[in-house]
Structure 1
């Protein structure tokens, strides 16, 4: 008689939680509600960074290349962004506004690849990545001569963060209730 293995937890819940929360708190700073960048640095290192990185590595074990790439990469994004902020604070490998802009442009181009993939997953994923891509483009422009767009990006990326939490809530609630409480909607591209 073989023992049945208990089901494994879905690592996406932690990846989406870390991405959503850290993105949301950074936008509180970007729109001027939270004057200190400190909470962003600590969240970015540990929840948006390390926890999301670990979630991505666990996605690899499930065979989900999209989740593996997205969570591991954006976890590394948060860690590198926070070290860049710390470097600027302590005058180590300082990055100016345009330097950060080029960093963001590279991440924008990377995000285009995942955005194209997200269109075939489901509507909630496509919406989240569409808002993420728009947010990156707005931040790119903000770093190259249009600083007022940082606030616009802040509000837009709050929508992205909440969309990630919608998927998180859907995975948890749909699983707990054994039925669809929060639909993920049809893929935008079939």
Structure 2
């Protein structure tokens, strides 16, 4: 019995995706920027250029680039998360800087609380989705939901103590994202599960 090949598919070329995993970059950009902002929230230093620069370039632009790369990987969750949180950082920086530059009125406390609450809701749904993903991502998103909750309550009540507690919790959240991102890099380079990600 002869096998015939349809001439249409004779010269078919299959292209496999050999591009790098952008998830590590996105997680590190998110994690390190979150640590920097929450060192400020915890009271270690004032709001200034280190927060703004990290927010625009690493937490913002680098995460958006990672999200675009996740689109190419056909990863809807990664694309949505990184482009969304990358935009979050850029918007947050401009919300703080625009009044200082005279481009808008002072940022109302209620508006900032509403902004953070909306992102908390988004993060809650993303957290639920992580139950189909790794344990490490569940930890990152679970801590992120708690961070937004603490910030909303602290800002709405005008409580410096709650914001400071949020800062400490936010540092832990950022470090968990860094752990996950660096773990992905290490496991890939060593071609074995050196870092547990679940």
TM-score (norm 1): 0.92
Partner of 2:162: 149
RMSD: 1.8
**Structure 2 Cα separation of the partners of residues 4 and 58 of structure 1:** 17
1:68 aligned to which of 79, 85, 107: 79
Query: What is the correspondence of 1:52-63 to structure 2 with a 5 Å cutoff?
Result: 52-63=63-74
Task: Find runs of 4+ consecutive structure 1 residues off by over 2 angstroms.
Answer: 2-7, 91-94
**Highest RCO, 1 vs 2 (Cα 8 Å, sep ≥ 6):** 2
**Structure 1 Cα separation of the partners of residues 14 and 148 of structure 2:** 48
Total equivalences in the alignment: 185
By how many angstroms is 1:139 displaced? 0.3
111-120 or 76-85, which deviates more: 111-120
**Structure 2 Cα separation of the partners of residues 169 and 71 of structure 1:** 16
43-52 or 4-13, which deviates more: 4-13
Query: What is the correspondence of 1:93-112 to structure 2 with a 5 Å cutoff?
Result: 93=104, 94-112=106-124
Runs of 5+ consecutive residues of structure 2 not aligned to the other structure: 1-12
Q: Mark the structure with the bigger radius of gyration.
A: 2
Partner of 1:181: 194
Q: Does 1:35 align with 2:73?
A: no
Runs of 5+ consecutive residues of structure 1 not aligned to the other structure: 186-190
2:177 aligned to which of 159, 164, 182: 164
